[in-house]
């Protein structure tokens, strides 16, 4: 018997409904994470990587994932991102260590230190030759033979001396100059001139005769002046200031008189051969007789002098 086509179709549809296809659904898996490799050292550098002994080098670094970071060579614990200046004494390798839990990472950088260039040899200091010893150009006394109580004047000049002195109680003096005194007996005076190289000496002797009668024609003439204690007195000396001569109070006893002033006064009109006067003003200090000497001497030839002596008789008021 022939089965109609629509029955065949119906049977097929029923069979499909009872035996539908079952597809197993697969649960998607989460992607596997990367294995934990510890903290990350982004960089650890030295700048400059080569230096000379004594130069400064800058270490810089950056670390992620760690709060326990340190650098060896005595530096110790540091922060995650920082810099540090070092000055290695020799070629040195610095190692940075970053720790996270049980994991650690390391990074190293090396600073090459070259030996410092040999310092230029300092030439020995120039040898400064020692200064020559001082020179005593002259040391003399005028006069060199006197009667007891007379005045002498020592005159001297030195070259290259930084100091000078004369013995017999005179002491330190200028390196060139004059000094007057009344010696109580025949004396030898020694001038000592000194500088950094040493000393030199010169001597001169003044003879004091036993009595004035031994040399009557050579006896010194004194002019007498009277003064009163507490009052001033004046001595005038004529001279021409256009030559090389000048006046000086060579000797006076400072316990008896005091030099107040000396000045030059020009004549108007000038006298023939004389332009003016040197005026010496003294103060009388105590009663008694004292001696005073004024000298007219050549500044270029100190022994070339003409001296004038005075006896000052000081009276009480």
DSSP secondary structure of 261-279 = EEEEEEEEEEETTEEEEEE
193/269: higher pLDDT: 193
Distance, first Cα to last Cα, the chain: 197
**Fold for domain 40-114?**
Immunoglobulin-like (2.60.40)
What integer pLDDT is reported at residue 198 of this predicted model?
93
**Fold for domain 221-317?**
Immunoglobulin-like (2.60.40)
Tens digit of each residue's pLDDT (9 = 90 or more) over 197-210: 999 999 999 999 88
What integer pLDDT is reported at residue 306 of this predicted model?
85
Q: Does the pLDDT value for residue 134 go beyond 90? A: yes
What integer pLDDT is reported at residue 143 of this predicted model?
87
Percent of the chain scored above 90 by pLDDT?
A: 40
211/238: higher pLDDT: 238
What integer pLDDT is reported at residue 17 of this predicted model?
52
Put simply, whether the predicted model's pTM sits higher than 0.75 gets the answer no
What integer pLDDT is reported at residue 16 of this predicted model?
52
Q: Does the pLDDT value for residue 5 go beyond 70? A: no
Average pLDDT over residues 70-96: 88
Dihedral over Cα of 266, 297, 285, 290: its sign: negative
201/238: higher pLDDT: 201
145/219: higher pLDDT: 145
- Range list for CATH 2.60.40.10 in the chain: 130-219
What integer pLDDT is reported at residue 36 of this predicted model?
59
Least confident among 16-25, 275-284, 303-312: 16-25
Average pLDDT over residues 40-59: 86
Full DSSP string of 202-250: EEEEEEE-S-GGGSGGGPPPEEEEEEETT-EEEEEEEE-TTSSEEEEEE
Q: Does the pLDDT value for residue 272 go beyond 70? A: no
Average pLDDT over residues 242-258: 89
- Range list for CATH 2.60.40.2470 in the chain: 40-114
51 CB neighbour count, 10 Å cutoff:
19
Q: Provide CATH code, domain 130-219.
A: 2.60.40.10
Say how far apart CA 264 and CA 241 lie, in whole Å.
9
| Maximum average pLDDT range among 137-146, 168-177, 297-306 | 168-177
Question: How confident is residue 6, by pLDDT bands cut at 50, 70 and 90?
Answer: low
Question: How confident is residue 116, by pLDDT bands cut at 50, 70 and 90?
Answer: low
- Range list for CATH 2.60.40.2020 in the chain: 221-317
What integer pLDDT is reported at residue 122 of this predicted model?
64
């Amino acid at each position: 018997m022939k089965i109609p086509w629509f029955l065949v179709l119906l049977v097929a549809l029923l069979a499909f409904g009872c035996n539908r296809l079952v597809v197993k659904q697969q649960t998607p898996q989460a992607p596997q994470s990367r294995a934990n490799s510890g903290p990350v050292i982004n960089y650890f550098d030295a700048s400059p990587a080569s230096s000379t002994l004594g130069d400064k080098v800058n270490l810089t670094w950056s670390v992620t994932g760690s709060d326990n970071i340190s650098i060896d060579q005595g530096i110790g614990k540091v922060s995650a991102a920082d810099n540090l200046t070092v000055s290695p004494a020799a070629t040195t390798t610095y190692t940075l260590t970053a720790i996270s839990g049980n994991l650690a990472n390391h990074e190293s950088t090396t600073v090459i230190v070259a030996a410092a260039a040999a310092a230029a040899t300092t030439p020995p200091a120039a040898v400064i030759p020692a200064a020559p010893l001082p020179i005593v150009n002259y040391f003399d006394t005028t006069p060199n033979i006197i009667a007891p109580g007379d005045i002498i004047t020592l005159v001297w000049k030195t070259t290259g001396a930084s100091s000078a002195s004369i013995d017999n109680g005179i002491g330190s003096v200028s390196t060139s100059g004059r000094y007057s005194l009344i010696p109580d007996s025949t004396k030898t005076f020694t001038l000592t001139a000194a500088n950094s190289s040493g000393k030199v000496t010169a001597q001169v002797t003044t003879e004091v005769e036993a009595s004035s009668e031994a040399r009557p024609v050579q006896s010194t003439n004194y002019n007498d002046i009277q003064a009163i204690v507490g009052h001033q007195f004046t001595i005038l000396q004529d001279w021409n200031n256009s030559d090389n001569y000048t006046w000086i109070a060579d000797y006076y006893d400072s316990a008896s008189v005091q030099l107040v002033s000396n000045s030059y006064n020009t004549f108007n009109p000038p006298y023939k051969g004389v332009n003016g006067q040197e005026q010496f003003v003294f103060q009388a200090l105590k009663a008694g007789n004292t001696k005073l000497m004024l000298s007219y001497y050549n500044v270029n030839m100190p022994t070339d002098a003409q001296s004038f002596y005075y006896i000052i008789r000081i009276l009480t008021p």
